[in-house]
Structure 1
């Protein structure tokens, strides 16, 4: 490279480096003592970054920062990197509901680890009454993304959420990669990542072990990809529940592949309530899935009713169709390794099983399939034998 080229290159690099402005929470009054409420320091640092005309960074250094709650609201002028090196810790107890950390109306946000969001869930779980009361008071979600577009969340840990770890609402082109989401298997409603009213969401190369769904995909979600996820403990990778609220929109274009589910209560699950609400679930593909000691490896449940008291005479009005299971293998704790409990009013259709090999761990006979109101096409290996 000639001298002029070297000079221009260094000038370009220097200009680019100068254009990234750092906003360290310590410079805004942050104190990493695990006791002081740093909500204002975090909000002020983000406000400075949001108003900067260029690429900016919010820096959380090493140490433990107590934060009561923080809502980071755009739109912002330029791209923002939220760099978490330390531990952000919630206050103990059940909190006040809502969300703990919220990012909303932001474009081009990057959240990088290796730090941890610790919600101190063990101090709150005893206050969760949702297993007995569907109208329960919700505990706080750890990290909420509302209308966040063209953004990436990478390398962080979410530890012991009070309720959901991560909730995605109204977002487009959002990527989650190399995450670690952790809560014990008896922690209530600690879904790993829940998605609703969103599109183009990618979850990849992550470990998710919780007390509820590792990934749950709710209404009005489309073009969702889950790949390279290790799930367990938890309730598996779920679509739904659907059919609970008026005006629900369809779920479509879900692609789950190259995932491992270990010791989960369910494996690949689609769940709907038996109600009068009409909608669709379609164009769903599961490929290259390993299930280890799963309770319900493959299940469509259109009589979903976790708290009891449902009218069993009703049939779900959700149409499930165009669902493909390819190369799903492993072991089942349940003799019914494949369950299709579909709707009598809207039977499941175009369900295709290709090379399914799931063995039952019990001693009272081989694995079996249980099916109602479903049309199935089977190709290749079928263990258990497919019911039609």
Structure 2
């Protein structure tokens, strides 16, 4: 046969194997699932799997045409350090399927950044899980961290999951636990749906807002259970068309518009609809808070079908946020207008159930209160306190609000 005759079958066999491998790879690409374990992730709870997650994301993001899925498999715990998952992506939509646990390194084991996990400039993104999907920020290692200035130490703790400069996003059906600071931040993004999440942190954990929204529009937070050490949902400046619907909040500081206008900043917030919310053992309920000296406006805000259970401050407008005693009253404030409260009921931990505290500059106008019944948790009566508020009431309103018509 000669040497060529001997080698020819081997060459054909190798070529056939290579062709089969290409078919398998192609099938994997067509399937569009990019499992982080196939990119080197161990998922053993101790190995740093950051590079594997970045590599899997890069492959999924580059998958052309069809939707792609980055899979974080169940029954695994993956240590992932601060990571930015950047777009735009070639795939029409990219889904991050979190079936296992993604765990942050402890404080001191990674460089200090403003975020832990960030999705940046992705158009068409879903982050979802199921009963087993968990983001564990290990915030306790940050809260216990020793600093010369405790406030500065906490301010440098990272936000857990950040969505920035993204369009058409869904965050759904996973658990976020013990973020070092805010759990989820939506910033400079549009068409974002946050649904069916469970967000938890101890009641005394600092700055652990559940969902924070700023400079974004058309954002929905629905059907979620949030209990943290700060606001369950906070809404910052530059935000329009936000709906908060069907959440259970507690413990925490309530659903807050603000704080707005710090250091004289000009702000704009409008078309905020908060409805079907249960506040249970929270510090605040339906709250709007602004800094004295701020500029701009917050308008067309509604709180509808709200129930309070043992809430310390159920209904609050505070235009003297932080320190009202050392700033002159004539500095002006963020203009609040067309604020509506409809069908509010439940119990207040304190005697004062409604607090409208507005600046003398006439910045609280068209405040409408319709159908309110808030009694004291101990069975006693409640009162409302207000100043510098212009507006009206209708239907049964208890406690009576003396400065409204």
Alignment TM-score > 0.5, same fold: yes
Match for residue 361 of structure 1 among 360, 377, 382: 377
Query: Secondary structure of the residue that 2:266 maps to in structure 1?
Result: coil
314 and 91 in structure 1: CA distance in 2 versus 1, 3 angstrom threshold: farther
Q: Does 1:252 align with 2:270?
A: yes
Distance 1:68 1:298 in 2: 40
- 1:90 Cα deviation from its structure 2 partner: 0.5
Q: Structure 1 pair 107/350, CA: closer, same or farther in 2 (3 Å)?
A: same
Match of 1:84 in 2: 98
Q: Tell me, which stretches of 5 or more residues in structure 2 are unaligned?
A: 1-27
State the distance in 2 between where 1:163 and 1:280 align.
Answer: 27
Q: Which residue of 1 aligns with 2:44?
A: 33
Out of 62, 84, 95, the residue aligned to residue 71 of structure 1 is: 84
1:101-159 deviation digits (Å, cap 9, x = unpaired)? 00010011011112100011111112387996479642011001101111111101100
Deviation at 1:249, TM superposition (A): 2.8
Which has more helix, going by share of residues? 2
- Cα displacement (A) at 1:316: 4.3
Q: Which residue of 2 aligns with 1:278?
A: 295
Q: CA deviation at 1:248?
A: 3.3
Larger Rg: 2
* CA shift digits 1:73-105 (9 cap, x unpaired): 001112101000000000112651310000010
Partner of 1:335: 351
Structure 1 gap segments, 5+ residues each: 1-16
Tell me the secondary structure at the aligned position of residue 166 of structure 2: strand
Instruction: Tell me which residue corresponds to 1:56.
Output: 68
Which residue is 2:21 aligned to? none
CA deviations 1:254-300 (Å, max 9, x no partner) are 0011110101100000001112x311010001111111111110000
Asked whether 1:352 is paired with 2:368, we answer yes
Distance 1:274 1:341 in 2: 11
Aligned-pair RMSD on alpha carbons?
A: 2.1
Distance in 2 separating the partners of 1:93 and 1:291 = 36
Q: Deviations over 1:156-215 (max 9, x none)?
A: 110001000011110000000000000010101000000000000000000000000000
TM-score, length-scaled by structure 2: 0.87
| C-alpha contact 1:105 1:148 (8 A) present in aligned 2 | yes
1:152 corresponds in structure 2 to 170
Q: Where does 1:1-388 land on structure 2 (aligned, <5 Å)?
A: 19-54=30-65, 55-62=67-74, 63-78=76-91, 79-93=93-107, 96-114=112-130, 115-127=133-145, 133=151, 137-245=155-263, 247-275=265-293, 277-305=294-322, 310-311=326-327, 313=329, 315-362=331-378, 366-388=381-403
Question: How far apart, CA to CA, are the structure 2 residues paired with 1:246 and 1:112?
Answer: 39
Taking the aligned partners of 2:127 and 2:360, their CA distance within structure 1 comes to 45
Measure, in 1, the Cα distance between the counterparts of 2:351 and 2:306.
19
For the Cα contact (< 8 Å) 1:303–1:316, is it kept in 2?
no
